[in-house]
Amino acid sequence: MNRHLSQRIGFGFTALVTLVVVAPILLVVGIIVVRGIGTVNWEFLTAMPRDGMKAGGIFPAIVGTLILTVGTALVAIPIGIGGAIYLSEYARDNWLTRAIRLAIVNLAGIPSVVYGLFGVALFVIFLQFGTSIVAGSLTLALMTLPIVISTAEEALRVVPVEFRTVSASLGGTTWQGVRRVVLPQALPGIITGVILGLLRAAGETAPILFTVAAFYLPRLPSSPLDQTMALPYHLYVISTQVPGMPIGVQYGTALVLLALVLSMNIVATIIRSYFRRRRQW
Amino acid sequence: MNVRVAGVERIVKRLSGLRRVRRAGGSEFAIETLIRVLGFSTIGFVLLIFLFLLREGIPVFFETTLDNLFGQQWYPTFDLLGTLPILLGSMLVTVTAIAIALPLGVLTAVFIREVAPEWTRDVLKPIIEVLAGIPSVVLGFFGMTVLAPFLRESLGIPTGLTAFTGALLLAYMALPTIISVAEDALDAVPKGYRDAALAMGATEWQTIWRVVLPAARSGVVTAVMLGMGRAIGETMAVMMVTGNAARMPLSLDSLFRPIRTMTATIAAEMGEVAQGSVHYHALFGVGIILFVLTFGINLMAASAILKKRRRGGLR
């Protein structure tokens, strides 16, 4: 009898701990939604900021984040998918491949602020891009790369080996097999990975602090060498650097950023589960 | 994949390789070369990052004394560039965060994998994924406006912007990683262990507590490593809630006082520093410390994972 009581206590304890883990997550999202929703309206989303960002909207920050995300995608997607194809379809199990895997683990572990430092040293100063969208996108792309490579490789690897053998037995070369058979099968998984990587880039602040972000720039950027405002940096600025900022604007900005990132997250999850249910193998 | 299929695959790979040499056109050769280059590029990027950190960070060793660099005072305006307080600040916050996150993460993983009914699991997993997706600046903002005032009042301390506040946020940021690694570790425990324990008359809880968890121990080490790597490099959330006072955290109550980490130091000061100054080089020096630390931590975590894979016969 005693043992069963202790089992009940043990199970109850793990349930309690899980509640302690999960409840604050819902609390964070809940508080930001409740306190921010009153500020978010059409004007807030589409107007330029006014009165030292205390009034008006956050349009340039939203557009800036979208531009940076596209810039990141342009660089990270081709390099990332190429690297993943190499690792899953071409690489042999030797020291060179192990070195590549080590490099990916390392890239994934480098703190985001160190990416920012590197971006300053290489893109802003050495290559003379200045504080610009190009410099910021390249920095973010580098940071996103390990996520894209590892998720894309995983997606390629779950395609059964028979697909490749059949392609080869029909006379296809390795590349033909990859291009026409394996890649289409793995595409949903790859897209999911790319979105997950990009949403991290969209929410990051530290790498763009000194490579692209503008404190206050109430217009849209006109060239890739322009600075731009960005949502995460804007939230940081208005919550720490500007005294007397209305709390509603802060929560509204936090809500827009959160909604953007979480909706991308949900899209990725839906793509993954939709295609997982549909696939035949 | 069984051994025979793997053998077939190897043969097919070799055959298709031969055919490629004979028949493949030039464009295909170009594409495959490009893929190879992209595959190797990650090594190049790591080297490039390290090289540029060194290039901008090494000069600081010639511009000031070692005594200064490893001293106890970080006041860049007076050329005092002692990294000890910010290094210890990072350590204090990181270790506290892991001490909070590890038990929470492991027990949550036990609940998700071993205890919870399926529908609960399907609810819990997406919520934890949401946590992984929240940008750190949003968590920092929440910490500033909600958590810090709450801690100040409930603990009766002069300011809520403390090492502990940062550690709490970091703990939750590390939780998704720790939970998923711990889940994998629980999964990897052979079914025979459980069956044997249950057959001996142990309850499910006794089996989990005395057999499954101890057997999954090595996975916990990996979880700690990955969680630490994540926590030590975290910037925005920590900067916004720890108060940023570069003091040596040596007294007993330092956990509940303002503190400053290495990442926050770089993020807060890099914007104002004159390019090429001693201070500028010192910030890159802090970047080198961070790079080397996270490299070491992730290396240990990766080798633990690889070792397990090999032992388990995977890949």
Q: Which of residues 73-112 of B touch A (CB under 8 A)?
A: 103-105, 107-108, 110-112
Cα A184 to chain centroid distance, Å, stands at: 23
Structural domains in chain B (count): 2
Specify whether B95 is located in the same domain as B168.
Answer: yes
Interface membership of A32 toward B (CB under 8 Å): yes
- Both tokens of residue A262? 């979480």
Q: Which of residues 44-83 of A touch B (CB under 8 A)?
A: 78-79, 82-83
Cβ pair B16:A172 closer than 8 A:
yes
Specify whether B85 is located in the same domain as B114.
Answer: yes
- Residues of A with Cβ-Cβ distance to B107 under 8 angstroms: 13-14, 17-18
Question: Is the pLDDT score of B5 beyond 80?
Answer: no
- Both tokens of residue A89? 């379809």
Cβ pair A113:B48 closer than 8 A:
no
pLDDT in tens, A57-112: 889 999 999 999 999 999 999 999 999 999 998 988 888 998 999 899 899 999 99
Question: Is the pLDDT score of B1 beyond 60?
Answer: no
Q: How many CB atoms lie within 10 A of CB B308?
A: 16
Q: Mutual orientation of helices B217-233 and B84-110 as an angle, nearest 10°?
A: 140
Locus of tokens 């350590």: B91
Q: Quick one: B179 exposed, middle or buried, by C-beta within 10 A (0-12, 13-18, 19+)?
A: buried
Specify whether B110 is located in the same domain as B53.
Answer: no
pLDDT in tens, B218-236: 888 888 888 898 899 999 9
8 A C-beta contact, residue A235 and residue A254 = yes
8 A C-beta contact, residue A39 and residue A26 = no
- Residues of A with Cβ-Cβ distance to B177 under 8 angstroms: none
Cβ pair A21:B297 closer than 8 A:
no
Question: Is the pLDDT score of B308 beyond 90?
Answer: no
Report how far apart, in Å, the C-alpha atoms of B99 and of each of A60, A95, A161, B224 are.
41, 36, 43, 9
Name the band, by pLDDT with cuts 50, 70 and 90, for residue B6: low
**Domain stops at, among B13, B34, B57:** B57
Specify whether B185 is located in the same domain as B291.
Answer: yes
Locus of tokens 């055919």: B19
Specify whether B73 is located in the same domain as B52.
Answer: no
- Residues of B with Cβ-Cβ distance to A239 under 8 angstroms: 141, 144-145, 240
Specify whether B153 is located in the same domain as B189.
Answer: yes
Find all residues with CB under 8 Å of B4, minimum gap 6, and list them. Answer: none
Interface membership of B277 toward A (CB under 8 Å): no
Question: Is the pLDDT score of A16 beyond 90?
Answer: yes
Specify whether B165 is located in the same domain as B281.
Answer: yes
- Residues of B with Cβ-Cβ distance to A6 under 8 angstroms: 203, 205-206
Specify whether B43 is located in the same domain as B174.
Answer: no
Specify whether B122 is located in the same domain as B197.
Answer: yes
- Residues of A with Cβ-Cβ distance to B124 under 8 angstroms: 18, 22
* Chain A residue with minimum CA distance to B14: A174
Cβ pair B129:A265 closer than 8 A:
yes
Q: How many CB atoms lie within 10 A of CB B62?
A: 8
Cβ pair B55:A99 closer than 8 A:
no
Cβ pair B128:A117 closer than 8 A:
no
Specify whether B48 is located in the same domain as B73.
Answer: no
Name the percent of chain B lying above pLDDT 90.
42
Interface membership of A173 toward B (CB under 8 Å): yes
Interface membership of A236 toward B (CB under 8 Å): yes
pLDDT in tens, B52-107: 999 999 998 888 888 788 878 888 877 788 888 899 999 999 999 999 999 999 99
Question: Could you report the predicted ipTM of this complex, rounded to two decimals?
Answer: 0.91
Interface membership of A239 toward B (CB under 8 Å): yes
> Terminus-to-terminus CA distance in chain A, angstroms?
47
Task: Assign B174 to helix, strand or coil.
Answer: helix
Cβ pair A161:B110 closer than 8 A:
no
Domain that residue B180 falls in:
66-311
Which residue segments constitute the domains of chain A, with CATH numbers given? 58-278 (1.10.3720.10)
Optimal mutation site among A13, A110, A157, A162, interface B, most CBs of chain B within 10 A: A110
pLDDT in tens, A191-228: 988 998 999 899 999 999 889 888 888 788 888 888 88
- Residues of A with Cβ-Cβ distance to B287 under 8 angstroms: 113-114, 117-118
Q: What are phi and psi of B51, to 5 degrees?
A: -60, -45
Beta bridge partners of residue B80, listed in sequence order: B75
Q: What is the CATH number of the domain that holds B92?
A: 1.10.3720.10
Cβ pair A203:B136 closer than 8 A:
yes
Specify whether B87 is located in the same domain as B205.
Answer: yes
At B61 the pLDDT is: 87
Specify whether B264 is located in the same domain as B211.
Answer: yes
B54, amino acid identity:
L
Interface membership of A40 toward B (CB under 8 Å): no
Q: What is the CA angle B165-B168-B169, rounded to 5? A: 90
8 A C-beta contact, residue B257 and residue B163 = yes
**Domain stops at, among B57, B74, B99:** B57
